[in-house]
Amino acid sequence: MCRALIRSPTYEIEICSNCILNLISKPPKTPFYMLSLDAEYGILGEKLAGIFLGPFYIEGDCREKILSLAETYRKRIILEQLHDLYTRIGKITMLAQIDPYYIPLSRSILLGKNHYCNVIENYYEGDPSGLRKEYSRLAGILGVLGDGSINLIVLEELYKKLFNRIREFLSSTSIRIPGRLLWFPLDGECKLDIIDPGNLISLPEGRLSLIAYRPEKLLSEHLGGSWRCEQTTFLASSLKCTRNNDKKTVIAKIYEKMQVKWIPAYIASPAPVRYLVSSRARLSNEYYWLRRLRDTIRTPHILLISASHSNRIMIREYLEGVPVISSRYSKQWEEAGRALAEIHSAGYALGDPNPGNFIYREGDIALIDAEQARRYSLEAGAWDLVVFVVYSIVFGVNRNLVGTAIKGYASISPVRFQRIKKLLLSGKGWGGVRFLPIYYNTAKKIIEEVG
C-alpha cells in the first residue's frame, strides 16, 4: 500500500495505491503506477511528475519509493534538456560550462507557472533545498559533470553514447514532449520575470540567450539602448545594427535567413567538400572557426548567440574596411590571395571563400565569414580557389584582378599551388563538379595561367 501527499511550495498531489486518477480534485489524486509512468515517460505531459522538478516534501508512507521516482524523473530531464540544448546550438554544447541549475530552470519554462515559481524562488533564495546540489549529483551519476558544472567536452565519447541512449529512449514511446501543465491553484504570488536559461551557461566567447527575440530586442536586452538594424545587401543573411544614442555598430547574422541558398550549394559541391545546410550546423561551425582562425587572420569577436527553436542569431563585432570584391586595387586583391594561402598553410580551408568576406583594413586583411570552414585537404584547397574565382567572375570582377589574387596565393604556397593546379587540371578527385561549366572552366583557365 502507498498513500502519501506530495507537496511543493506552489501545489500538491495525493498518491494512493488503488484510487482512480482525478486531476480536478483538490488536491489531484493519482494511483502510484500512474505517477511512475509519468516520471519515467511523461505520459501525462508531466502534469503529475513535474512536481519533482523543484523542491518537494512528502507526508505519509512509501517515502523511499517516491524519492526513487523523483530521481528517475530528474535523470530523464537532465538527458532531455541537454539534448534540447544540443538541438539549439549543436557542437557549441561541447564547449559550454553549464550550471546544473540550468536543468530545472529551462524545464520549468516549458511546464508552466507553478513549476517556474517553485524552481525560481528556490534559485533566488540561494538554493535552500539543495536543488543545484541534487542536479549536480545526478549529472555526475550520468557522467556529464566536471569541475562543478556540466561540461561535456571532458567526456565527448561518453556524450556520444549518451545521445545514442537518448535516441533509444525517445523511440521507446510516442509521447516525449512535455505538455503544458494544467495549472493547479497557486498559493501566494509569483510575479517574477522569466530568467533566460542561457544566463546559466558560460561559453568561451560571448554570451548565450535561449529566448526568442527580434535582433533589435535581443540587442536592447543584452547590450542596452535602442537599436536599428538594416540588411546590408539583398542576398545577405547579416544585418548591420546601430545603437541610436552612441552609434555603436554590430553585425547580427541570422542563420535561418537565406538558408534555402545552401540547398543548391550543397548539391553543387563535390563530396569531399560537401556544404553544411542546417542553421544549427552552420552556427556551431562558424562559432568554432571564427575563434580557431583568429590565430591566422583577424576575425570578428563574438558578442552573443541567440538560439531558440525558431531562430538562431549571432551578434558579433563589426569590422570597418573595404570588401575586396568591391575593390579595384590590385594590392588588395593580392593580399586577399595571400591571406587565403596563409589559411591553407595553417591547416584550414574556408569552403565558401567569397572575396566579399575578405575585408581590407589599413594594410591588413580580415575575414568575416567562416560558416563553411573546415580542416584543410588538397580537395578542399582546390575547391577554395575555384569558388574564390567563380564568385569573382559572377560579380563581374576584372579578370586581371582575379589573376593577381591567384598570384598572391601562389607566392605564399608555391608547392601547394602546383599540387592544387595539377588536381584541377587532371579532373580527378572531385566526384563530379556541378557548377555551370562556363564558370568552372573559366576558373580553371585563370588558375592555369598562373605559373
User: If 0-12 CB within 10 Å is exposed, 13-18 middle and 19+ buried, where does residue 40 land?
Assistant: middle
322-449, which class in CATH?
mainly alpha
* pLDDT for residue 292 is more than 50: yes
* Residue carrying C-alpha cell 592555369: 448
Rg (CA), the chain: 27
pLDDT higher for 170 or 37?
A: 37
DSSP class of residue 272 equals G
Q: Given a cut of 90, is residue 299 above it in pLDDT?
A: yes
The rounded distance, in Å, linking the Cα atoms of 292 and 299 is 9
What is the C-alpha separation between 183 and 10, in angstroms, rounded?
A: 10
Question: Could you give the 3-state DSSP secondary structure of residue 230?
Answer: strand
> pLDDT: is 384 or 159 the higher one?
384
How are the residues of the chain apportioned to helix, strand and coil, as percentages rounded to the nearest 5?
50, 15, 35
Look at residue 409 in the predicted model and tell me its pLDDT. Answer: 96
Comparing 298 with 140, the larger pLDDT belongs to 298
| β-sheet with 302-307: strand ranges across | 207-209, 302-307, 312-317, 249-254, 238-243, 227-231
Query: Residue 399: pLDDT above 80?
Result: yes
pLDDT of residue 438: 56
What's the mean pLDDT in 251-264?
80
Specify whether domain 205-317 bears CATH 3.30.830.10: no
Residue keyed to cell 552556427: 283
Q: Is 307 helix (H, G, I), strand (E, B) or coil?
A: strand
| Chain centre distance of CA 181 | 28
Distance CA 159, CA 156 (A): 5
Residue showing cell 557542437: 91
Q: Sketch the domain layout of the chain as residue ranges.
A: 4-70, 74-175, 205-317, 322-449
Query: What was the pLDDT predicted at 151?
Result: 67
Q: How many C-beta atoms lie closer than 10 Å to residue 418's C-beta?
A: 12
Per-residue pLDDT of 14-52, as tens digits, reads 999 888 888 888 888 999 999 999 999 888 888 889 999
Residue 176's pLDDT band, with cuts at 50, 70 and 90, is: very low
- Least confident window among 71-80, 114-123, 127-136, 356-365: 114-123
User: Are β-strands 12-16 and 29-31 bridged in parallel, bridged antiparallel, or unpaired?
Assistant: parallel
Element (H, E) at 216: helix 215-223
Distance CA 208, CA 70 (A): 30
Q: What pLDDT sits at residue 181?
A: 36
